[in-house]
Amino acid sequence: MANQFSGNVFEKVTDETRQGEVLQGIEQGTKKMYLESYGCQMNFSDSEIVASIMAENGYSSTPNLQEADVVFINTCSIRENAEQKVRGRLDVFRMAKKQKPEMVIGVLGCMAERMKAKLLDEEKVVDLVIGPDAYKDLPNLLDQVESGQKAVNVILSREETYADITPVRLGGNGVLAFVTIMRGCDNMCSFCVVPFTRGRERSRDAHSIISECRDLFEKGYKEVTLLGQNVDSYHWSNEEENVNFAQLLERVALISPLLRVRFSTSHPKDITDEVLETMANHENICKCIHLPVQSGSTTCLERMNRTYSREWYMNRVEAIRRIIPECAITSDVIAGFCGETEEEHADTLSMIDFVKYDMSYMFKYSERPGTFAARKYKDDIAEEVKSRRLDEIIAKQSGYSLERNKEAVGQTQKILVEGFAKKGNHQQCGRNSQNKMVVFPTQDHVQPGDYVMVKMEDCSQATLIGTFIEKL
């Protein structure tokens, strides 16, 4: 997430925010664009599409707000807190526009889709509002703004996958890349705004995905993450072939044994043994599955419209443990959903005990306008109860995160080097197959993109600490 500017509103954003300077590398064009992204990996992937479209239309990037002719903020609506952060950033842009009145401010993504023209009315600084399926219309919308009009396009598409757009890879070090394989979502979870902001589910042409992944590998990238709201429901066909997610996963893995493959996100109702067996059969498909549970209670899951039971979820976890014993499992958990009883909360805690997740994203329930839950259920759990339940979830998960990391101590593991650790150049870092960050003393002959063997000597809840053994 973004840090607020301090002092001068044009102060450069720090690298870890993944904002303005992530656009370095687009050289063509005389006009300047500044872009900030918030939220999920899909949003950052979308920002790469936006950067490509803008570059084709004569815009180069800038890491400095004061240089920008166009400022975009790619938004998230998954929780109220995310939207409040965006509103805070718009306040900063408002100050910047006072100093440069011709600056164009655009709101992109899920918040744009959810709030539509309301953003133009409430946030007077906004000139342009565009939803996730309309980015190809950006040049036309900018023309409208330049002619003195406000511009909006939030039309959702049943076909748009941006398969014909080659994303501009933003920031990073040329090692890791996101590849979107599908868009939208058909799972109408009662708490979730995504189907309303990203539209119906549609899968991208499998050949374009393979081509993009192969091109990335040839350009030196060593890891791709296949993205979708529910990757397990990926399905693409033409007159000659039908491709499901397991088959797509294998095709990407076969590009090269030196290309690591990850994916996100899986849905418990759809993940199949075929996918698990494909993972087990290919060393370069990373052994980590993000399998959001949301609640450990069948009755609460029913209110959430998650379409699986506690027992079904446990069955899928057992299948993962059986077919891929070394696989890490991560999750999402919501505390205090509408009507959640103490017994249902206890079921969530016991599910954490059952799975022993390696890591989880844990949140208090945040009502989102327009969702089924907002229309049909009362947000009736007191804030202090939500907070207490979340604290209990976090405490339990923290213990298991440390426990799972301790299991790796003493092992020698293959690590893909990403760069230097945050604490400085005396430590390099990378991730193991289970997506856990590993730090080890800097080796002068080791560069980002190299595979190395590291022996794990110690750990914290979030990090493995190792000793360099050899470069592969």
Nearest-Å Rg of the Cα atoms of the chain is 22
Q: What are the tokens at 135? A: 């980015």
**What pTM value is reported for the model?**
0.87
Q: Give me the pLDDT at residue 26, please.
A: 44
> For the chain, which residues make up each domain, given as ranges?
15-153, 176-406, 412-471
Q: What is the DSSP string of 56-92?
A: HTTEEE-S-GGG-SEEEEEE--SSHHHHHHHHHHHHH
Burial environment of residue 159 by CB neighbours within 10 A (0 to 12, 13 to 18, 19 or more)? exposed
Q: Give me the pLDDT at residue 29, please.
A: 58
List helix spans (H) across 66-202. 80-99, 110-115, 118-122, 138-146, 194-198
Tell how strand 59-61 and strand 70-75 pair up.
unpaired
Q: Give me the pLDDT at residue 170, please.
A: 75
In CATH terms, 176-406 corresponds, of 3.40.50.620, 3.10.20.30, 3.80.30.20, 1.10.3720.10, to 3.80.30.20
8 A C-beta contact, residue 125 and residue 88 = no
Average pLDDT along the chain, 472 residues, taken 10 residues at a time:
29 32 48 88 87 90 88 83 83 90 91 80 84 91 91 86 83 87 94 88 96 96 95 94 97 98 96 98 98 98 98 98 98 98 98 98 92 95 98 98 97 96 86 97 95 98 96 96
pLDDT tens for 221-265 read 999 999 999 999 999 999 999 999 999 999 999 999 999 999 999
Q: Give me the pLDDT at residue 232, please.
A: 96
Tell how strand 128-130 and strand 182-183 pair up.
unpaired
Q: Give me the pLDDT at residue 3, please.
A: 33
Q: Give me the pLDDT at residue 197, please.
A: 84
Give me the architecture of the 412-471 domain, per CATH.
Beta Barrel (2.40)
Q: Which residues contact residue 352 at a Cβ distance below 8 angstroms, ignoring those fewer than 6 apart?
A: 296, 333, 360, 393, 396, 397, 400
Its CATH class, for the domain covering 15-153, is: alpha beta
Burial environment of residue 386 by CB neighbours within 10 A (0 to 12, 13 to 18, 19 or more)? buried
Residues in the chain, how many?
Answer: 472
